[in-house]
Homo-oligomer: A and B are copies of this chain.
């Protein structure tokens, strides 16, 4: 073991330099199928390490079945179950596709994703869009008419305008926003107020152009950008994914480059250990959350 130490130390130093030197920039919003390498029309990605279908349960299982219907891969939940069992619909872990998932962490081919480049290391990451303030969301494991309508709204109304505005801005560097926001009370998971405001400020000139060209879409987009302080979370997730992935695959490095959970397991991936996931079952939760 002693003999590995010098190699591990230098490998970890390199991994650390990659993470701390990352400069993630959001460059676009596109449908997953058009930008996520390896994505195909019959794939549904979830948060967490890849897992056999039988082990999915609860909200995440419901979200997968909903996603199959949303994507038009199945007519109902039972049809979706059948097609997953026969392999007609493939379930995979989003991290293996450069994506990072919030809760259920569902991605289907047509869903819009942020495209975040890290030019320092030449890698790219993705995150899907915040579903808004409704308590009914696919990432909460709910799929109903309201969730469907909102996902269509994100895909047809928000994503194209947001993509135009980000491209028109020449991309938006995320590290400067993240650094400032952390000094303004954000922790960038449950508090994203400052980062969302700073992002909005960065894209506002492009949003004014959008307003001149397409009044309605600019107003709808602005409502989305300012409607909840959670907007930036998906960008901080994609930025963190871009930084972490850039440190992955360094021979001899023991750095953990991904921590992820699904409905069943908590899992890690280690820089020098390839694409293998190391998982442990989640402990049972006994809590009275809503008395």
Give me the interface of A with B, judged by CB distance under 8 Å.
Answer: 180, 183-185, 193-194, 197-198, 200-201, 204-205, 207-209, 211-212, 215, 218-219, 222, 226
Per the bound structure, the CA–CA distance linking A207 and B209 in Å amounts to 11
Beyond A204-B207, A204-B222, A205-B219, 7 additional contacts (C-beta under 8 Å) are A184-B184, A194-B197, A200-B200, A200-B204, A208-B208, A208-B222, A211-B211
Return the chain B residue nearest A198 by Cβ.
Answer: B197
In the complex, chain B residues whose CB is within 8 Å of the CB of A212: 211-212, 215
Query: Chain B residues with Cβ under 8 A from A201's Cβ?
Result: 197, 200, 226
- Given A194-B197, A197-B194, A212-B211, A204 and B226 touching (CB < 8 A)? yes
| Copies of this chain in the oligomer | 2
- Compute how far the CA of A197 lies from the CA of B200 in the bound complex, rounded to whole angstroms: 9
Q: Is the CB of A205 within 8 A of B183?
A: no
Cβ–Cβ < 8 Å partners of A193 in chain B: 180, 184
Q: What would 15 A/B residue contacts be, using CB atoms closer than 8 Å?
A: A185-B185, A194-B194, A197-B198, A197-B201, A200-B201, A201-B226, A204-B204, A204-B222, A204-B226, A205-B219, A205-B222, A208-B208, A208-B222, A211-B212, A212-B212
In the A-B complex, the 7 residue pairs with the closest CB atoms: A197-B197, A208-B211, A184-B184, A184-B185, A211-B211, A201-B226, A211-B212
Bound Cα distance A204, B185 (Å): 23
The answer for the CA separation of A207 and B185 in the assembled complex, in Å, is 27
Least Cβ–Cβ distance between A231 and chain B, in angstroms: 12
**Cβ distance A174 to chain B, nearest Cβ, rounded Å:** 17
Q: How far is the CA of A207 from the CA of B207 in the complex (A)?
A: 10
Residue of B nearest to A211 (CB): B208
Nearest chain B residue, comparing its CB with the CB of A221: B208
Q: Which residues does chain B contribute within 8 Å of A180, judged by CB atoms? A: 193
Looking at the assembled complex, report how far the CB atom of A260 sits from the nearest CB atom of chain B, in whole angstroms. Answer: 31
List residues of chain B with CB within 8 A of the CB of A185.
183-185
- The CA of A42 and the CA of B7, in the complex, are separated in Å by 79
> CA A200 – CA B199 in complex, angstroms?
12
Contacts of A198 in B (CB 8 A): 197
Shortest distance in angstroms between A32's beta carbon and chain B's nearest beta carbon? 30
